[in-house]
Chains A and B, each alone.
Chain A
Amino acid sequence: HVPPRTERMDVDQDWSSVYPTAASFKPASVPLPIRMGYPVKGGVPPTKEGNLELIKIPNFLHLTPPAIKKHCAALKDFCTEWPSALDSDEKCEQHFPIEIETVDYVSAGTSIRNPKARVVTLSVKLSNLNLDDHAKKKLIKLVGERYCKDTDMLTITTDRCPLRRQNYDYGIHLLTVLYHESWKTEMWESEKTEEDMEEYIWENSCSQKNALDTLLRIKASENVSNVTEEELLASEVVKNYRNSVIALKNEGETENNMAQYKESVKKLLNIQALP
């Protein structure tokens, strides 16, 4: 019978011409002494001739390193360079603040379509948008859960349209509408109460009234000439007290904040440390 082709192959032949494309394993064309399969009792795995295990498994004989290098050399002409000015994440963030995430799915099956492919996620840092104080607070209230305070990122995930392009357009539309609505001031926004405020403001609060009240009464009992409220507000002790109260309310109770509050109250009421 005809001897297999492997006996006529040189050691330095061009392998990419033997396996140019993905093909199943041909034992007469591959000059390697491969054995694969479960060994016979007290024996070795079966040889490559007529071995179904070697034919079943996908092989990478068409993708040897020299073949990959040849392919990439031919494909290199079609690639473009990344702009060298954007070599770090911060620069990308600065020039291109909006990030759009899309997912593609490749699999074998009865259909190549995947319904999860139409989801589009838009994320942007609010510090890059042109917003003033009121607009930023209104935007955060409008958006609710989609804003993350730690990283200052607004993430909008759109899924409601059947095509990816439509979802992307809808996401941009949502961002535009949110931006413009947050710059508007409605008439009912002037009824914002203390419970709606995101952060604690000391001016016109109970804490300020109580402190001023107490100080005025102290001055009256010591019979000092009537000191006006503005002078009290501008004095050092009151400013210290104000800073410590704001820190306590906004940042929560930490060791430093409590110590600062204690010091400022002691100075305000002129109490010396207990012996």
Chain B
Amino acid sequence: DLMGARLAGSHVDTQEPKTNPLISISDEPETLYKRLSLLVKGHDKAVLDSYEYFAVLAAKELGISVEKVHKPPKKIERLTLLKSVHIYKKHRVQYEMRTHYLCLELKYLTSSTAAVYLEYVQRNLPEGVAMEVKKTKIEKIPEHIREPVWDTLPQVEETEVK
């Protein structure tokens, strides 16, 4: 079974199907990500389509809810250069670079789920494709913003307490 050869040692022993010795559970509370937005950029639309199928299937299998999958319009960057090395200004050559986009929005992930999904999806990014991941983390209000600190300092008299 060569399936686990590439993924960083995550194969399950056939003798112990229930407890995976590679899993370690830590006590600190997990950070929560309200939204994970993946923007994938590439030069070839067919490659991005296949990648979309792969990423959506992976998210469904891992139990991540996919909010929206949409394709922003492509951007074409064009340049006009001189065709010849020395003179002949009237003869030019034109190049263009097409960038196709694919945007995947995932909702409600914990940090370990996000880490697993992102590592899996980023290791299988095809050649020549780039990705931007926007993470929106949600947090409670920190301790020092609950109450104004002036209430606990009665000795300070220059500034009025309100």
Contact = CB atoms under 8 A, between A and B. Distances in A.
Interface string B39-78: 0000010110011001001100111000000000000000
Given A17-B2, A92-B34, A134-B162, 17 more contacts: A21-B5, A22-B126, A70-B3, A75-B62, A75-B116, A78-B112, A79-B62, A79-B117, A100-B136, A100-B138, A101-B136, A101-B137, A102-B135, A104-B133, A106-B122, A107-B130, A108-B127
Q: Which of A57, A78, A103 has the most CB of B within 10 A?
A: A78
Contacts, number: 174
Interface of A: 16-17, 20-22, 57-58, 60, 63, 65, 67-83, 86-87, 89, 92, 95-108, 124, 128-130, 132, 134-135, 172, 175-176, 179-180, 183-186
Nearest to B146: A130
Contacts of B47: 57-58
Contacts of A68: 54, 57-58, 61
A107 B50 CA distance: 18
B136 A99 contact: yes
A29 to B, nearest CB: 15
Contacts of A63: 50, 54, 124
Nearest to A131: B148
A135 B141 contact: no
A20 B7 CA distance: 11
B132 A104 contact: yes
A105 B144 contact: no
Contact of A22 (B34, B58, B124): B124
Contacts of B112: 78-80
A106 B140 contact: no
Interface string B1-43: 0111111001110000000100100000010101000000000
Given A68-B58, A104-B135, A106-B125, A78 B130 contact: no
B62 A129 contact: no
B147 interface: yes
Given A68-B54, A183-B150, A135 B136 contact: no
Interface of B: 2-7, 10-12, 20, 23, 30, 32, 34, 44, 46-47, 50-51, 54, 57-58, 61-63, 108-110, 112-113, 116-117, 120, 122, 124-142, 144-150, 159-160, 162
A96 B125 contact: no
A58 B48 CA distance: 10
21 contacts: A17-B2, A20-B2, A21-B5, A22-B126, A63-B50, A69-B57, A74-B3, A78-B23, A78-B112, A78-B116, A81-B63, A100-B137, A100-B139, A101-B137, A105-B131, A106-B132, A108-B130, A176-B142, A176-B145, A183-B148, A183-B162
Contacts of A86: 32, 108
Contacts of B132: 103-106
The 3 closest A-B pairs by CB, nearest first: A72-B61, A58-B126, A107-B130
Contacts of B136: 99-101
Contacts of A95: 140
B145 A106 contact: no
B138 to A, nearest CB: 4
A97 to B, nearest CB: 6
Contacts of A80: 30, 110, 112-113
Nearest to A93: B138
B159 to A, nearest CB: 5
Nearest to B147: A130
A48 B73 CA distance: 33
A83 B113 CA distance: 12
B135 A101 contact: yes
